[in-house]
Structure 1
Amino acid sequence: MTRTDAEARALFARLTGQEPTGLWSAPGRVNLIGEHTDYNDGFVFPFAIDFRTVVAVGARDDGRIRVVSTFDEVPVEVPVEVALDDLDALFPARRDEIVEWARYPLGVAWALRAAARDAGVDASASLTGVDLAFSSDVPVGAGLSSSAAIEGATAAALNDIWGLGLDRVTLAQAGRRAENEAVGAPTGIMDQMAALLGESDAGIFLDCRSLEADVVELGFAAAGLELLVIDTRVTHAHSTGGYGERRAACERGAAIMGVPALRDLSVDDLPRAQELMDDVTFRRVRHVVTEDQRVLDAVRTLRANGPRAIGPLLDASHASMRDDFEISVPELDLAVDTARSAGAVGARMTGGGFGGSAIALVDRDLVPDVTAAVEAAFAEAGFAKPHVFTVHPSAGARRDA
């Protein structure tokens, strides 16, 4: 039993005085390449990581749902509690009445009830009340999608407890709906798909329009490589303005070009786009269009030549996010530049931006040297000490006990 398993089980026992029915978990994710392309109907290439959120679950007989966590800001003795039948009234109209972290699991419960109705599932008898106790070792605010880990664990657990029989893609869609409408973060579906579909030693090449997913072997270990995460400790939140402004610019650019989404443009369309758009909108569009192409190139290159060959694409992705999409920060740029100078095969920021983490593909023997170089560079710049660690491609949401 892992530490997070034990914490979730102990928290459930303190909340209810009983043992849980079971434990479910879901991972965070690293996006290897393909940033801000998901909500533009484009391509992404994430993988699930070996940091997980665990939820201990037990049924109730009163039609109510209670959620509590070790990362909650209120005491364990004061769980967030609502009636299942009140969820439709709460979300999205009255979501501000719920503390933000609790909107994720409660929002998933709300979205799953709707998904079951849409799928024609008669689950009225099985939708019992539930107690959910969460623990996690996914870093919060680091760009590793701690939110999708909560959503994935909740969706997998409730799908089993309620006997809904929904497939993994439908669960991911419920997670995205929860994040978009119950939380108010205008994200795409990449994170939820990675959390639900992840596999060991593999990435998920995802078409965000069709939701077709292809499992692609990464081969990091066989190539003697490690994926290093550099958490800058600069926290971010997708429900705040910067993310929404970038999304609005993308939608504006698609409208100017007369296409449903930026996915429908190619690099060859960029000269015309530049003629029609203001500079800021054009640069936002250029990032998404070229990033989509980089995802396709990365998957093709990985399959043909192995992981060492994708380094230049990682580097180009970061430059595009820094200069065109303008979502990097000085700490992320320093992490990327220092990792490259210390010998990384390639490096880029990962996640939504405005903080969070960078990733670097590094020879196994160079991990200590790259880590030391990044920590020294941050100290010299007067930045907070970064948290530097390795992650490994891992399995998606599952029942653990």
Structure 2
Amino acid sequence: MTDTEHGAPRTAAAFYEVYGAEPHGIWAAPGRVNLIGEHTDYNDGFVMPLALPHTTLAAASPRTDGVLRLHSGGAEGGIVELRTDELRPAAGGGWAAYPAGVVWAMREAGLPVGGADLHYDSTVPTGAGLSSSAALEVATALALNDLYALGLAPRELARLAQRAENAFVGVPVGIMDQTAAACCTEGHALFLDTRDLSQRQVPFDLAGEGLRLLVVDTRVRHELGDGAYAERRAGCERGARALGVRALRDVSLVQLPESLDRLSGEPVVQGLVRHIVTENHRVEEVVACLDAGRTRAIGPLLTAGHASLRDDFKISCAELDLAVDAANAAGAVGARMTGGGFGGSAIVLVEEADAQTVRKAVMEAFAAAGHPAPRIFTAVPSAGARRVR
């Protein structure tokens, strides 16, 4: 039994304490780390996330009066009560805006979703670049899908969850995080083409190969709604328009030098374009390595991806760079930041035998630099969203 299944009785008990009744069910959706393919999703490109064992649990029951009540074990303020027919997109709604946005998106799509009582518990670290918001959205979407017998497929739930974050919360994220939460499978990384949403589960058995993937949560919190993420997205779209393509996905590695020449007057956009084009190529190379059973060969690709995010996309920070540099100096196979950037987490691929040495080196580097100690744990490719009770 996983930690998620072990946590379900506690979540049910909390629901009862808050609402005075047993929930109709409990649903779970995971956080994720992105192995490779950063900021490519809103450029119609390729990504390769995997689900974490850390999940958001949603205990839920339907209501017939159009009232939506939301409660989180990790947030102060008690129950947030809303009316489904009065939901409107608005900035600054706090954590409750994410599940409320899912209800809004479903109703906007013409789906027969009424009220609900929901209680949430989560082990997904917030602000760590591990997609806690998508876990919250997808857990809500899956619960409502079952409560109201909507019959939606996982990828449809992901689309609705993305719309909630884009149009209701106001954060212009791509589709990767929600698709990872909804569609990942245990023991695999998800190779996703974000243009047509075609996907393939790629076996990723690290333990079987004597490897481990560490997550280094720098504890530097980031907020995608602070404008820097939107600026990068707008810059990518400006580059695509200047190059006359639908999206930067349509610029090949061979075309990159000429494309950069055409953007010579915009050095910032040049950097964004260079990262997206080379990152798409790195995703394809990682897939080829894994398909060929050459897992260790992805290490240099991870490190190259970090350099691109640091130097071209300019979304790293001192703590992320330190985590990557210290890990690689201590013998890691490869490392890079993961997530939206400006803080959050790094991933480190290590030999099982070197895991403790690398972990110690990162901890010591942070201490020497005067940074708070990072949280370091192992990423185990885990299951996507599911009903657990």
TM-score (norm 2): 0.96
Is residue 216 of structure 2 the alignment partner of residue 213 of structure 1?
no
Q: Tell me the residue number matched to 2:268.
A: 280
Aligned length: 384
Is residue 142 of structure 2 the alignment partner of residue 156 of structure 1?
yes
Per-residue deviation, 1:272: 2.0
Per-residue deviation, 1:384: 0.9
CA distance in 2: counterparts of 1:6 and 1:362, whole angstroms: 35
Give % identity: 53
Is residue 385 of structure 2 the alignment partner of residue 397 of structure 1?
yes
Per-residue deviation, 1:352: 0.4
Q: Which amino acid aligns with 1:134?
A: Y
Is residue 87 of structure 2 the alignment partner of residue 108 of structure 1?
no
Q: Deviations over 1:8-53 (max 9, x none)?
A: 2233112211111110000000100000000000000001110000
Per-residue deviation, 1:82: 1.1
Q: Tell me the residue number matched to 2:33.
A: 30
CA distance in 2: counterparts of 1:111 and 1:7, whole angstroms: 29
CA distance in 1: counterparts of 2:370 and 2:311, whole angstroms: 24
* Kept in 1: contact 2:130–2:339 (CA 8 A): yes
Q: Deviations over 1:193-244 (max 9, x none)?
A: 0000111110110000000011110121111111100000000011111101
3-state SS, counterpart of residue 59 of structure 2: strand
CA distance in 2: counterparts of 1:312 and 1:365, whole angstroms: 19
Q: Deviations over 1:119-150 (max 9, x none)?
A: xx6x3xxx332101000000001111001110
Q: Which amino acid aligns with 2:222?
A: H
Q: Tell me the residue number matched to 1:344.
A: 332
Q: Tell me the residue number matched to 2:293.
A: 305
3-state SS, counterpart of residue 36 of structure 1: coil
* Kept in 1: contact 2:320–2:346 (CA 8 A): yes
* Kept in 2: contact 1:219–1:306 (CA 8 A): no
* Kept in 1: contact 2:63–2:115 (CA 8 A): yes
Q: Deviations over 1:294-324 (max 9, x none)?
A: 0011101111133111111101100000000
CA distance in 1: counterparts of 2:370 and 2:351, whole angstroms: 28
Q: Deviations over 1:324-356 (max 9, x none)?
A: 000000000000011111111110000000000
Q: Tell me the residue number matched to 1:186.
A: 172
* Kept in 2: contact 1:4–1:137 (CA 8 A): no
CA distance in 2: counterparts of 1:2 and 1:267, whole angstroms: 45
* Kept in 1: contact 2:37–2:279 (CA 8 A): yes
3-state SS, counterpart of residue 120 of structure 2: strand
Q: Which amino acid aligns with 1:173?
A: R
Q: Tell me the residue number matched to 1:64.
A: 67
CA distance in 1: counterparts of 2:19 and 2:76, whole angstroms: 19
CA distance in 2: counterparts of 1:329 and 1:46, whole angstroms: 22
* Kept in 1: contact 2:93–2:169 (CA 8 A): no
Supply the RMSD in Å over aligned alpha carbons.
1.3
CA distance in 1: counterparts of 2:105 and 2:295, whole angstroms: 38
3-state SS, counterpart of residue 216 of structure 2: strand
CA distance in 1: counterparts of 2:191 and 2:143, whole angstroms: 25
CA distance in 2: counterparts of 1:216 and 1:52, whole angstroms: 21
* Kept in 2: contact 1:375–1:385 (CA 8 A): yes
Q: Which amino acid aligns with 2:99?
A: P
Q: Tell me the residue number matched to 1:18.
A: 21
CA distance in 1: counterparts of 2:365 and 2:105, whole angstroms: 45
Q: Which amino acid aligns with 2:273?
A: V
TM-score (norm 1): 0.93
Is residue 312 of structure 2 the alignment partner of residue 324 of structure 1?
yes
Q: Deviations over 1:55-78 (max 9, x none)?
A: 11012231111111012232x2xx
* Kept in 2: contact 1:37–1:288 (CA 8 A): yes
Is residue 51 of structure 2 the alignment partner of residue 48 of structure 1?
yes
Is residue 72 of structure 2 the alignment partner of residue 84 of structure 1?
no
* Kept in 2: contact 1:48–1:198 (CA 8 A): yes
* Kept in 2: contact 1:229–1:360 (CA 8 A): yes
3-state SS, counterpart of residue 233 of structure 1: coil
3-state SS, counterpart of residue 95 of structure 2: helix
* Kept in 1: contact 2:5–2:388 (CA 8 A): no
Stretches of structure 2 lacking an aligned partner (at least 5 in a row): none
Q: Which amino acid aligns with 1:20?
A: P
Q: Deviations over 1:89-112 (max 9, x none)?
A: x12xxx23x632111101011112
Q: Which amino acid aligns with 1:262?
A: L
Per-residue deviation, 1:2: 4.8
CA distance in 2: counterparts of 1:2 and 1:397, whole angstroms: 12
Q: Which amino acid aligns with 1:128?
A: G
Q: Which amino acid aligns with 2:291?
A: R
Q: Which amino acid aligns with 1:363?
A: E
